[in-house]
Structure 1
Amino acid sequence: MPTEGFDRSDPAGRAWVHEAIRKVQADANRSADTHLHVFPLPAEWGIDLYLKDESVHPTGSLKHRLARSLFLYGLCNGWIGAETTIIEASSGSTAVSEAFFARMLGLPFVAVMPRSTSQEKVDLITFYGGRCHFVDSPATMYAEAQRLADETGGHYLDQFTYAERATDWRGNNNIAESIFEQLSHERHPVPAWIVVGAGTGGTSATIGRYLRYQRHDTRLLVVDPENSAFYPGFCETDDTVTTLVPSRIEGIGRQRVEPSFHASVVDAMMSVPDAASIAAARWCSARTGLSVGGSTGTALWGALHQIAAMRAAGETGSVVTLICDGGERYTRTYFDDTWLAAQGIDIAPCLATLETFADTGEWGDVLSPCDG
């Protein structure tokens, strides 16, 4: 909640909020849209794969959109004033983007983060003037963020609760509307599938609702890394599912089903092994020249799996997934062979699967998605 004694009717305070909203909206005008890259596939397959490059946002990830929306939501709800300390629980990229907006508005920012968060993300948060507050267990960061907000009289942005409602899913240049506008002159302008990670649940909720609102036949596949709760929760129709071990794929794997995740707008889910996520991230970077992170690898693995299934069924069309952030944030983890060896991760079999797919369009033995 906002600082105690924050007077929402004070003219000076209202003027500050008006100016803060203008600054955040100006950022949207400068950076809201992102590139839609064509992934190289044989034209004769009749299937096109597109990568929506969210890494080109000013703070380098898909979370820039979410951070902007959360700040606007807090400002317009009267929760953020000129002296409000901003608190967030995050595994990294959201906090990087929120630190950027907090600095833009001259507000102090504290990120409550797992101690295992990549050093590259920690460095970016401090670069934007934020402070990192570490916890040993990712499951405790929610309560710790709320405690700090209560202690400072600040505002806990709470991305995991508000992600699904802070963004206008009907349009207003959200990510779904942007995808369809950019596909409008392609040979398959309405994609057969859009593939995204779970994360907060906000992106899948926005896209899933938009697809229904616009009456598109596009289906939504949500991919989930190992040790994350979304996939078992979806398959068991149980949003109380938790996992004991945290995910190694930062940004999308969660130990609980987050409040912003709405399974009812998801058509299918797939669980992706960490070795596959990392192999796909490296393979994509080598194939396209675009450096991508582990969560992009997770999504790409799911997208390629669906393309193989479409080919097997004799279908044509387009598939869209996201570049969530760049690989430069993971040079000491996913792109470090020493780190992989220490984690006991062997990506060679998954790289072989990807190379076979590139040569033949076939996938081989894989787990089928859990259909809704």
Structure 2
Amino acid sequence: MNQLEILDAEARRAPAPRLHAFPLPAEWGVTLHLLDESVHPTGSLKHRTARALFRHGLRTGRIRSGTTVVEATGGNAAVAEAYFARLLGLPFVAVMPRRSAPEKIERVRGHGGTCHLVHPPLAIYDEARRYAEDHGGVYMDYLANSAQAVSAVSAAEDDVGRVLLDRVTPEWVVVGAGSGATSTAVGREIRRRGLSTRLAIADPENSAYFPGWASGADDYATGMPSRIEGIGRPRMEPGFTPSLVDLVIPVPDAASVAAMRILRDVTGLRAGPSTGTALWAAFHLAAKMRREGHQGAIATLICDDGALYENTYGNDAWLAAKALDPSPHQAAYPRFLRTADLETPE
């Protein structure tokens, strides 16, 4: 079995993500659905992206037998890439900030990867490129290359857009944007099918996507890091395709955390902060549809498992240290259900 066949076999073994319903008042005529991407072996949506990156790398010749694969992140992308590198018998190195949480380091190592720690944090990108050159490897650079790799997936190889739209045909799909790969995959699939479905991006504080999209500046940059892990960027990444996006909704970081907790309390589902960002934006769209008398479905994703964040976004002391207070947004939720108004009191 060659390496591409190994990837194909892994994809066939992958569990089918379940489509969960989030309850909204029946009289609204608006339904809300969440596709659970946390079911993958590495626990996140980045699993699909990593598979696409390795498949594309093999097909283009960037990755060969014995190639050292290098990535600049310590998040879910590094974990997923470590998993696929080990599956293919390739060395993997994650270049991470020196102050990365021990849990992140152990997740990468648990899938056979090596962690190369550097300081300052923004040096990880140049260091990953240098490390790959010095060791005859390949810098995967998922931020720059994910959208292209996902777009190269054939009709026989599912991506998240196809999987979601095979299950539901919504009025709106809401996703976050990190590399831009997910929004590009969903947006292109909407258009390939000729659907009237619209695509909304849920964007956290400090991210460049909302101001960049609103101003039409493809090179917009804030220079500030996002506090919501997995989404939001200080610059608009090359994989983000503004022309596929119908709306960008800015979401307060504290509201993202509140929506994580609301999801858990209402459905029992645990998800991370990027899911919370998208869910809060979905609430806004549901309220808008209710006020305008429109009916139909809204769909979003469970991007990863909330269990990964017990010591961070799930920890009140950690949130307080980050000046994040979700309680006003949680308190606004019952009023939202009564009035279709999601305004948060000052």
Bin the TM-score by the shorter chain.
over 0.9
Shift of 1:113: 2.5
2:112 paired with 1:124: no
1:180 pairs with 148, 165, 171, which one?
165
2:77 paired with 1:94: yes
Identity between Structure 1 and Structure 2 (%): 48
Q: Is the 8 A contact 2:202 2:251 kept in 1?
A: yes
2:109 paired with 1:160: no
1:191 pairs with 170, 177, 185, which one?
170
Shift of 1:170: 7.1
SS in 2 for 1:83: coil
Residue 78 to residue 157, structure 1, CA distance change in 2 (3 Å): same
2:253 paired with 1:274: yes
Residue 274 to residue 114, structure 1, CA distance change in 2 (3 Å): farther
1:74 pairs with 57, 79, 89, which one?
57
| Aligned equivalents of 2:139, 2:209: Cα separation in 1 | 23
Q: Which amino acid aligns with 1:53?
A: D
2:207 pairs with 221, 228, 239, which one?
228
1:35 pairs with 18, 29, 36, which one?
18
Q: Which amino acid aligns with 1:88?
A: E
**Cα RMSD for the two superposed structures:** 1.7
Q: Which amino acid aligns with 1:177?
A: R
SS in 2 for 1:167: helix
Residue 275 to residue 116, structure 1, CA distance change in 2 (3 Å): farther
Partner of 1:3: none
Q: Is the 8 A contact 1:139 1:255 kept in 2?
A: no
| Aligned equivalents of 1:144, 1:235: Cα separation in 2 | 33
Q: Which amino acid aligns with 1:122?
A: I
Map 1:127-138; keep pairs closer than 5 Å. Answer: 127-138=110-121
Q: Is the 8 A contact 1:61 1:326 kept in 2?
A: yes
Q: Is the 8 A contact 1:167 1:206 kept in 2?
A: yes
Residue 305 to residue 137, structure 1, CA distance change in 2 (3 Å): farther
Residue 240 to residue 261, structure 1, CA distance change in 2 (3 Å): same
Shift of 1:174: 1.6
Range with greater deviation from structure 2 (168-177 or 342-351): 168-177
Q: Which amino acid aligns with 1:317?
A: G
Map 1:97-112; keep pairs closer than 5 Å. Answer: 97-112=80-95
| Aligned equivalents of 1:170, 1:352: Cα separation in 2 | 45
Shift of 1:136: 3.8
Structure 2 spans left out of the alignment, 5+ residues = none
Structure 1 spans left out of the alignment, 5+ residues = 1-17, 184-189, 367-372
> Residues 101-140 of structure 1: CA distance to partner in whole angstroms, max 9, x if unpaired?
0111111111123345444332211101112223444433
| Aligned equivalents of 1:365, 1:289: Cα separation in 2 | 24
Q: Is the 8 A contact 2:329 2:344 kept in 1?
A: no
Q: Which amino acid aligns with 2:186?
A: I
Shift of 1:206: 0.8
| Aligned equivalents of 2:101, 2:33: Cα separation in 1 | 28
Q: Which amino acid aligns with 1:267?
A: D
Partner of 1:187: none
Q: Is the 8 A contact 1:279 1:297 kept in 2?
A: yes
Residue 137 to residue 210, structure 1, CA distance change in 2 (3 Å): farther
